[in-house]
């Protein structure tokens, strides 16, 4: 499974757009990019998944350039409740044994 | 989606004892997993719980220390054996391949069991 690199932490203010970039230089052809969110004292929660270009859902957008060596999770207009750790994972679909990196701790301030 | 419950939610144990953690899912699932998350750290996969056969353990984890059962498609247990303070951690159950879907793209996690070993 491809290794991922993310910033350890990020700070933001309410109402701002937050972009978290993940590097995955060794991504394989059949690998997908998946992001999870984890609040304190809870298990991780699936946010979004994509293979290339752009994916958008009601929570976030995921931007993946043509070379797929990186990806950016975009959270529009964050609120205090978006304070959490965000994990970027790379692997083939159906790969059950997820390999979590260190994640990015996002702190949203009023 | 899947709703996952774990028991106990937390426990404080003495070294040398064992604790069995239960994971119950509200629907049949294809795959079940056990993770460990030490304070302030990321998640580490312990093993994949296989129905009707021995669990598949990741490097650094062995069956004698973390025996796992999975008697059916909705239930699994993880036992932490002969505990030491280093086993203090949060243990999480996760599932994928939920009933009614053909996708294994998303995993659902339980709330975790916070274990403290004295």
pLDDT in tens, A49-88: 999 999 999 999 999 999 999 999 999 999 999 999 999 9
Which residues does chain B have within 8 Å of residue A90's beta carbon, measured at their own beta carbons? none
Q: Dihedral, CA atoms, A102, A107, A108, B1, nearest 10 degrees?
A: 40
- For residue B86, how many other CB atoms are within 10 A of its CB? 9
Query: How many residue pairs bridge chain A and chain B with CB atoms within 8 Å of each other?
Result: 54
Tokens of A95: 């790969």
The pLDDT, as a whole number, for residue B59 is 93
The pLDDT, as a whole number, for residue B102 is 45
> To probe the interface with A, which of B29, B42, B61, B103 has the most A CB atoms within 10 Å?
B42
The pLDDT, as a whole number, for residue A2 is 64
Contact A98 B43 (CB under 8 A): yes
pLDDT in tens, B66-106: 999 999 999 999 999 999 999 999 999 999 876 554 455 68
Which 3-state string (H, E, C) describes B53-91?
Answer: CCCEECCCCCCCCCCEEEEECCEEEEEECCCCHHHCEEE
The pLDDT, as a whole number, for residue B85 is 96
pLDDT in tens, B28-72: 888 899 999 998 899 999 999 988 889 999 999 999 999 999 999
The pLDDT, as a whole number, for residue A1 is 57
The pLDDT, as a whole number, for residue A101 is 87
Residue B42: which of A34, A94, A102 has the nearest Cβ? Answer: A102
Look at A11-20, A43-52, B81-90 and tell me which has the smallest mean pLDDT: A43-52
The pLDDT, as a whole number, for residue B96 is 84
The answer, for B88 touching chain A at a CB cutoff of 8 Å, is: no
Domains along chain A with CATH numbers = 9-109 (2.60.40.10)
CA distance B49 to chain A (A): 11
Percent of chain A with pLDDT over 70: 96
- Rounded to an integer, what distance in angstroms lies between the CA atom of residue A2 and that of residue A20? 18
The pLDDT, as a whole number, for residue A98 is 79
Place of tokens 């793209």: B105
The pLDDT, as a whole number, for residue B60 is 95
B4-100+111-117: CATH topology: Immunoglobulin-like (2.60.40)
Q: Dihedral, CA atoms, A21, A94, B99, B107, nearest 10 degrees?
A: -30
**Chain mean pLDDT for chain A:** 92
Tokens of B1: 């989606």
């Amino acid at each position: 499974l491809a290794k991922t690199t993310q910033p350890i932490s990020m700070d933001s203010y309410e109402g701002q757009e937050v972009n978290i970039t993940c590097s995955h230089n060794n991504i394989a052809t059949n690998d997908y990019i998946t992001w999870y969110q984890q609040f304190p004292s809870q298990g991780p929660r699936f946010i979004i998944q994509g293979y290339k270009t752009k994916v958008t859902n009601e929570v976030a957008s995921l931007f993946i350039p043509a070379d797929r060596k990186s990806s950016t999770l975009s959270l529009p207009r964050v609120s205090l409740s978006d304070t959490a750790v965000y994990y970027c994972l790379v692997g083939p679909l159906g790969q059950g044994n997820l390999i979590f990196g260190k994640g990015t701790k996002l702190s949203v301030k009023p | 989606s899947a709703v996952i419950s774990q028991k106990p939610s937390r426990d404080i144990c003495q070294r040398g004892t064992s604790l069995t953690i239960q994971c119950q899912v509200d629907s049949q699932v294809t795959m079940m997993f056990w993770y460990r998350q030490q304070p302030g750290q990321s998640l580490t996969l312990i093993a994949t719980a296989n129905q009707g056969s021995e669990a598949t353990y990741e490097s650094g984890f062995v069956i004698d220390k973390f025996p796992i059962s999975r008697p059916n498609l909705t239930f699994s247990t993880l036992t932490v054996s002969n505990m030491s303070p280093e086993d203090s951690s949060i243990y999480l159950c996760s599932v994928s391949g939920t009933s009614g879907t053909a996708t294994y793209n998303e995993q659902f996690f339980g709330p975790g069991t916070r274990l403290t070993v004295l």
